[in-house]
Amino acid sequence: MMRIDTATLKPKRTAESPPAMRPASPPPGFAGRFLLPVLRVVILYLLPLAVVAGGILGARHLIETAPQAERRAPVRQAVPVSVMTLQRSDATATVRVMGTVMPAQRVILQPRVSGEVVQVSPKLQPGGRFEAGEFILQIDPVDYELAVRRTRSQIAQAEYEEKIEAGHQQIAEREWGLLGMHDQASELERELALRQPHLLKTRAMLEAARAALRSAELDLERTTLRAPFNCMVIAEHVDLGAQVSSQTQLATLVGTDEYWIQAAVPIDQLQWIDFPDAEGQGGSEAVIRQELATGVQGEWTGRVVQLVGELDPRGRMARVLISVADPLCIDRGNGNGLPLLIDAYVNVAIEGRPAQDVIALPRTALREGRQAWVMNSSDELEIRELEIVWGNQDTVLVRRGIEDGERLVTTDISAPVAGTALRLLDVEPDASLEPEDPAHPLEPLAASSD
């Protein structure tokens, strides 16, 4: 019987082939059944929970034991401002308005008679000036001289007839006395017998002739036109040889002794202006300035004379008339030698009534219309409500809301809040009050983590 060697049946191990894996020996019976599931539960469930719990506890410990940062109180940063010290006094309210120059006297020269212009004054041209009663022009007087002669002859004829009738009346009276009919005749018969109506008629004709002579003489005088007052020619419309009548406009004249300034005044400012009394006495003084691009061209003094009884239809403002004497500076007593021109726009400063115990503030210092900023004794900002009694475009007068000696803030503050710390603009800030980090003055300082 043939024997087979089992050793020869085993495969031989070569260098190229790896050793064969041995199957794991099974665990003992108790460990295999109980320990392996426990380890699996611990690894899959309990270990992650333990890690999470440990992280939470560690984080809590870090938070509770972390160093606390110290907070510093916010440092108040003072705002630099400029101030002006206020003082109570008695002030005069000056009403500053605009006005227009207009003549106080203005006439259109027209003849009273008709005829040919035979002589004209060389001054009769725009800008020419005449004194009162000075010759302006002459209308041909020949026809009017003849009319005077005719009326004089009519007077002579009427005087003759009046004397003849007076003689007839004397004869009639003697005849009436010889007849002795005083008791028998009526009153009318007696008047007719004595020629009384005849005498009245001749006397009336004489008076009519004398009146005609006076009319003819007036017409003759009216052929010479003279200046009605001291005046200046604004426009002329006549030349030598022109035929004129009573409807012809010869020239426009304005008075040179006085001009008026018609100023537009707000209604609420009228209470500060003094107007003349019934006799024309009084009235506020006024200063008139004509300002052009090159500066002030002249300055004149005037006086308020009248309040026009209606408002300006355009601006709904009151109209006040201011009288300016010698506006053309003829006497060199007004306007620094410069003439005041008609229809010019001028600046008017009317000296009003005085205001007692007030404080004058520049209008630029007002805030929100009727408020002011005050730097109190603690160098803090106070916002005050003011009682303004008067104001113009430059100045306001305050009676209440601010006191004598207080400091008015004139610098603009971007965000004004009552209680804001202030310092004078020319005073250096205290370095000890400045925050360490000017860029972040309100942030807490970081704590050291060493």
Enumerate the domain spans of the chain: 80-87+366-433, 94-104+257-355, 108-140+223-255, 141-222
Average pLDDT estimate for 421-429: 72
The string over 23-56, giving b where at least 16 C-beta atoms fall within 10 Å of a residue's C-beta and e elsewhere, is: eeeeeeeeeeeeeeeeeeeeeeeeeeeeeeeeee
Q: What pLDDT was estimated at residue 442?
A: 34
Could you give the CA distance from residue 374 to residue 408 in angstroms, rounded to a whole number? 5
The structure tokens 């406009």 sit at: 249
Q: Is pLDDT at 404 greater than 90 in this prediction?
A: no
Q: Is pLDDT at 126 greater than 90 in this prediction?
A: yes
Band the pLDDT of 38: cuts 50, 70, 90: confident
Q: What pLDDT was estimated at residue 31?
A: 55
Rg over CA atoms, the chain: 59
Average pLDDT estimate for 91-106: 90
Q: What pLDDT was estimated at residue 140?
A: 94
What share of the chain in percent tops pLDDT 90?
33
Band the pLDDT of 195: cuts 50, 70, 90: confident
Of 87-91, 117-121, 218-222, 223-227, least confident by mean pLDDT is 87-91
Could you give the CA distance from residue 320 to residue 299 in angstroms, rounded to a whole number? 19
Closest CA to 141 of 217, 215, 220: 220
**What rounded mean pLDDT belongs to the chain?**
80
Residue with the bigger pLDDT between 339 and 114: it is: 114
- For 250-280, the pLDDT digits (tens) are 999 999 999 999 999 998 888 889 999 888 8
The tokens for 263 are: 């100023």
The structure tokens 């392996």 sit at: 36
- For 14-35, the pLDDT digits (tens) are 444 444 445 445 555 555 566 7
The structure tokens 């004149």 sit at: 300
- For 377-388, the pLDDT digits (tens) are 888 899 999 988
Could you give the CA distance from residue 305 to residue 281 in angstroms, rounded to a whole number? 9
The structure tokens 């120059």 sit at: 101
Burial of 375 (0-12, 13-18, 19+ CB in 10 A): buried
Of 8-12, 203-207, 330-334, 345-349, least confident by mean pLDDT is 8-12
Q: What pLDDT was estimated at residue 189?
A: 67
Q: What pLDDT was estimated at residue 16?
A: 46
Residue with the bigger pLDDT between 427 and 120: it is: 120
Q: What pLDDT was estimated at residue 433?
A: 35
Could you give the CA distance from residue 220 to residue 341 in angstroms, rounded to a whole number? 37
Residue with the bigger pLDDT between 449 and 67: it is: 67
Pick the CATH number of 108-140+223-255 from 2.40.10.220, 3.20.20.10, 2.40.50.100, 3.30.365.10: 2.40.50.100
What share of the chain in percent tops pLDDT 70?
79
Domain 94-104+257-355, CATH = 2.40.30.170
Is 2.40.420.20 the CATH number for 80-87+366-433? yes
Of 102-111, 225-234, 253-262, 347-356, least confident by mean pLDDT is 347-356
The tokens for 38 are: 């426990």
Residue with the bigger pLDDT between 253 and 403: it is: 253
Q: Is pLDDT at 104 greater than 90 in this prediction?
A: yes
For residues 286 and 322, is the Cβ–Cβ distance under 8 A?
yes
Could you give the CA distance from residue 109 to residue 225 in angstroms, rounded to a whole number? 9
Q: Is pLDDT at 341 greater than 70 in this prediction?
A: yes
Q: Which long-range contacts (CB under 8 A, 24 or more apart) does 312-316 make?
A: 312/264, 315/264
First-to-last C-alpha distance (Å) of the chain: 94
Q: Is pLDDT at 223 greater than 90 in this prediction?
A: yes
Average pLDDT estimate for 69-94: 81
Edge-to-edge strand order for the sheet containing 224-226?
A: 224-226, 135-139, 115-120, 243-244
Could you give the CA distance from residue 333 to residue 216 in angstroms, rounded to a whole number? 44
Q: What pLDDT was estimated at residue 295?
A: 66
- For 356-365, the pLDDT digits (tens) are 888 888 888 8
Q: What pLDDT was estimated at residue 318?
A: 93
